[in-house]
């Protein structure tokens, strides 16, 4: 596997900034806002600034504010969902620092739903308490809009759109610069910075069906991996149980908050079925509900199940879930009368670039935050509405670390030249992408087994072998090699973990096995040699 995907020469345009943040979701923009105002920050958005997974988040943010709730209960629920692999200390920080960060959001103008001056709390699966604050069913958009608006007012923050980060340049294990493709001009730019914060999101686009936006192609993880960072817990991929299943839209999320407000699941005969799978029924942990739906669909030979909230009145539904109500109605589904067709789809990756409690990776001055990172909080299965919270809590921690240390660092004045060997790749990459997505969807989905994983491995290895011989220059090509790289790692880790735990379910090893209470670390050397390291 190549260390660098593209070459650069001495004529490359060079831009200097103290901190380069890759990604314009909640983790990236909140980190920028928390960094002291005497530090110069540049945020790069792969597409438009408002396109991110965070902006699509519906449900809300988990925080223990209820009279009967406490950070300890939030911690217990997170650990329970994480199926033995969550890092207790990290979770402790998450639940205890939640309140202060939510207060910051409110101070920045975010308007969560309130009644009588008190934040409304809803319930989501596997939470023992009502603790999800929300802005109707567009919480992510409300938060992102306000963060972006605040950052536009800050003199020390620059927001640049259509900037695709390709590779980081490392010297003596320290991050020095980032090679970026300016999509508007087609030219490469070298961003030199004291720090890089990677907040580029997950890899949902590796799958045929996903709730993720088009930008989620695993770029940040692939870039970090090529540079020598460790990717951890990559086999744990979360499938959201209830994504709309309609011929015109198979990626629109029907928030878990709908089940939190009482919606029930029905099979194609209109019968409830969750009681056959788990005593918590519709509010069992997300992996359990997704797998139960998958089994019910197999049993009834149908392509979807149905979510029923039709017992609530229209006025309530229009007010509480305006986006879901309007989107469904547009497609001819009146949720106050009709069942909503839904099926599981890829939603979130628990794994990512391994970080410590300050968001530091193993590469000096290279931080990771949000879905691209693996702080160890989510373990084998993320508890609903903990992801935006993780972006906030660890974004703030990264910002503190940078604000405290930035005066000790200097910008690099070296010139970098990277040779790019190989022929220009002239084939369209869309077919290659389709092959990867098909293999991931059919063989590395909700239920896996050795023979399917080996088939997926064969497809992906072959793809990588071919791609490795070429030179790339377009974003589509670079994205494809990133997707193939991450797919290879997910498959390798899924093959290695011969047990079922959380979101990773192997039909050939269908029980958890205590020997596997460990994380699988993936680094370039290990994947290239097909060996792994384990840590507990």
We find the least distance from the C-beta atom of residue 252 to ligand SIN, in angstroms, to be: 11
We find the least distance from the C-beta atom of residue 60 to ligand SIN, in angstroms, to be: 7
The smaller minimum CB distance to ligand SIN, of residues 274 and 495, is found at 274
Residue 411 CA neighbour count, 13 Å, CB half: 16
Candidate residues 24, 387, 441, 522; the one interacting with ligand SIN per rule CB under 6 A: 387
* Chain residues 218-257 in contact with ligand SIN, contact rule CB under 6 A: 253, 255-257
Give the helix ranges, DSSP H, for 11-61: 26-34, 53-56
Q: Tokens 């909230």 label which residue?
A: 309
The smaller minimum CB distance to ligand SIN, of residues 218 and 391, is found at 391
* Residue 444 burial (C-beta neighbours within 10 Å; 0-12, 13-18, 19+): buried
User: d(Cα 233, Cα 384) in Å, to the nearest integer?
Assistant: 18
Using the rule CB under 6 A, give the single segment among 102-110, 161-169, 379-387, 422-430 that binds ligand SIN: 379-387
We find the least distance from the C-beta atom of residue 133 to ligand SIN, in angstroms, to be: 12
The smaller minimum CB distance to ligand SIN, of residues 285 and 452, is found at 285
Residue 255 in tokens? 């928030």
Residue showing the smallest CB distance to ligand SIN in the complex: 59
User: d(Cα 498, Cα 496) in Å, to the nearest integer?
Assistant: 6
Phi-psi region of 60 (alpha: psi -120 to 50; beta: other; left: phi over 0): left
The smaller minimum CB distance to ligand SIN, of residues 253 and 481, is found at 253
Q: Phi, psi (5° rounding) for residue 28? A: -65, -50
SS3 18: strand
* Chain residues 161-200 in contact with ligand SIN, contact rule CB under 6 A: none
**Count of beta carbons in the 10 Å neighbourhood of residue 106:** 14
User: d(Cα 431, Cα 437) in Å, to the nearest integer?
Assistant: 10
User: d(Cα 315, Cα 337) in Å, to the nearest integer?
Assistant: 12
User: d(Cα 506, Cα 238) in Å, to the nearest integer?
Assistant: 14
* Chain residues 250-269 in contact with ligand SIN, contact rule CB under 6 A: 253, 255-257
The smaller minimum CB distance to ligand SIN, of residues 135 and 453, is found at 135
Residue 52 CA neighbour count, 13 Å, CB half: 32
* Chain residues 106-165 in contact with ligand SIN, contact rule CB under 6 A: none
Residue 520 in tokens? 């699988």
The smaller minimum CB distance to ligand SIN, of residues 69 and 256, is found at 256
* Chain residues 40-69 in contact with ligand SIN, contact rule CB under 6 A: 57-59
The smaller minimum CB distance to ligand SIN, of residues 42 and 242, is found at 242
Residue 91 in tokens? 């979770």
Residue 62 in tokens? 């988990």
We find the least distance from the C-beta atom of residue 347 to ligand SIN, in angstroms, to be: 6
Q: Angle at Cα 325 formed by Cα 324 and Cα 331, nearest 5°?
A: 90
Residue 458 in tokens? 């064969």
Contact call for residues 132 and 62 (beta carbons, < 8 A): yes
**Count of beta carbons in the 10 Å neighbourhood of residue 442:** 13
We find the least distance from the C-beta atom of residue 59 to ligand SIN, in angstroms, to be: 3
* Chain residues 417-446 in contact with ligand SIN, contact rule CB under 6 A: none
Size of the site for ligand SIN (CB under 6 A): 10
We find the least distance from the C-beta atom of residue 78 to ligand SIN, in angstroms, to be: 12
We find the least distance from the C-beta atom of residue 348 to ligand SIN, in angstroms, to be: 6
The smaller minimum CB distance to ligand SIN, of residues 57 and 369, is found at 57
Residue 74 CA neighbour count, 13 Å, CB half: 29
Using the rule CB under 6 A, give the single segment among 44-52, 383-391, 399-407, 522-530 that binds ligand SIN: 383-391
Q: Tokens 């380069």 label which residue?
A: 20
Q: Looking at 131, 226, 259, 286, which residue is catalytic?
A: 286
We find the least distance from the C-beta atom of residue 95 to ligand SIN, in angstroms, to be: 15
Candidate residues 8, 175, 197, 384; the one interacting with ligand SIN per rule CB under 6 A: 384
For the question of residue 286 being annotated catalytic, the response is yes
The residues annotated with a catalytic role in the active site are 286
The residues that touch ligand SIN, with contacts defined as CB under 6 A, are 57-59, 253, 255-257, 384-385, 387
């Amino acid at each position: 596997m190549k260390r660098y995907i593209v070459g650069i020469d001495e004529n490359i345009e060079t831009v200097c900034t103290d901190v380069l943040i890759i990604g314009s979701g909640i983790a990236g923009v909140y980190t920028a806002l928390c960094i002291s105002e005497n530090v110069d920050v540049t945020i790069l958005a792969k597409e438009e600034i408002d396109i991110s997974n965070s902006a699509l988040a519906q449900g809300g943010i988990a925080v223990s504010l209820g009279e009967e709730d406490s950070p300890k209960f939030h911690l217990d629920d997170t650990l329970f969902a994480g199926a033995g692999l969550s890092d207790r200390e990290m979770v402790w920080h998450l639940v205890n620092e939640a309140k202060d960060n939510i207060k910051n959001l409110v101070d920045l103008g975010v308007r969560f739903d309130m009644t009588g001056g008190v934040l409304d709390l809803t319930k989501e699966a596997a939470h023992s308490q009502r603790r999800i604050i929300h802005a109707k069913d567009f919480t992510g958009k409300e938060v992102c809009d306000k963060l972006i608006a605040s950052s536009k007012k800050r003199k020390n923050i620059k927001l640049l759109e259509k900037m695709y980060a390709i590779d980081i340049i490392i010297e003596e294990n320290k991050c020095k610069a980032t090679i970026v493709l300016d999509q508007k001009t087609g030219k490469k730019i070298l961003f030199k910075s004291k720090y890089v914060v990677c907040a580029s999101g997950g890899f949902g686009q590796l799958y045929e069906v996903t709730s993720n936006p088009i930008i989620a192609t695993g770029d940040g993880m692939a870039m970090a991996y090529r540079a020598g960072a460790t990717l951890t817990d990559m086999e744990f991929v979360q499938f959201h149980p209830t994504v709309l299943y309609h011929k015109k839209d198979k990626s629109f999320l029907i928030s878990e908050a709908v089940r939190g407000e009482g919606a029930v699941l029905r099979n194609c005969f209109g019968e409830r079925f969750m009681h056959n799978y788990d005593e918590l029924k519709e509010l069992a942990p997300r992996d359990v509900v997704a797998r139960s739906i998958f089994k019910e669909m197999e049993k009834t030979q149908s392509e979807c199940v149905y979510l029923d909230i039709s017992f609530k009145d229209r006025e309530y539904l229009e007010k509480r879930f305006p986006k879901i109500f309007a989107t469904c109605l547009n497609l001819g589904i009146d949720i106050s009368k009709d069942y909503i067709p839904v099926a599981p789809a890829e939603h979130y990756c628990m794994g990512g670039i391994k970080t410590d409690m300050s968001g530091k990776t193993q590469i000096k001055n290279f931080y990771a935050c949000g879905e691209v990172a693996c702080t160890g909080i989510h373990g084998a299965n993320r508890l609903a509405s903990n992801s935006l919270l993780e972006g906030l809590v660890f974004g703030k921690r990264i910002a503190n670390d940078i604000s405290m240390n930035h005066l000790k660092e200097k910008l690099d004045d070296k010139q970098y030249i990277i040779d790019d060997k190989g022929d220009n790749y002239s084939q369209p990459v869309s077919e290659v992408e389709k092959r990867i997505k098909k293999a991931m969807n059919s063989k590395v989905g909700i239920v896996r087994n050795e023979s399917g994983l080996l088939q997926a491995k064969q497809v992906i290895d072959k793809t990588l072998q071919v791609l490795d011989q070429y030179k790339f220059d377009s974003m589509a090509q670079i994205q494809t090699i990133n997707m193939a790289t991450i797919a290879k790692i997910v498959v390798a880790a899924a093959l290695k973990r011969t047990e079922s735990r959380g979101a990773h379910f192997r039909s050939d090893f269908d029980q958890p096995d205590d020997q596997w209470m460990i994380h699988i670390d993936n680094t370039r050397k290990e994947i290239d040699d097909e060996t792994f390291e384990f840590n507990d």
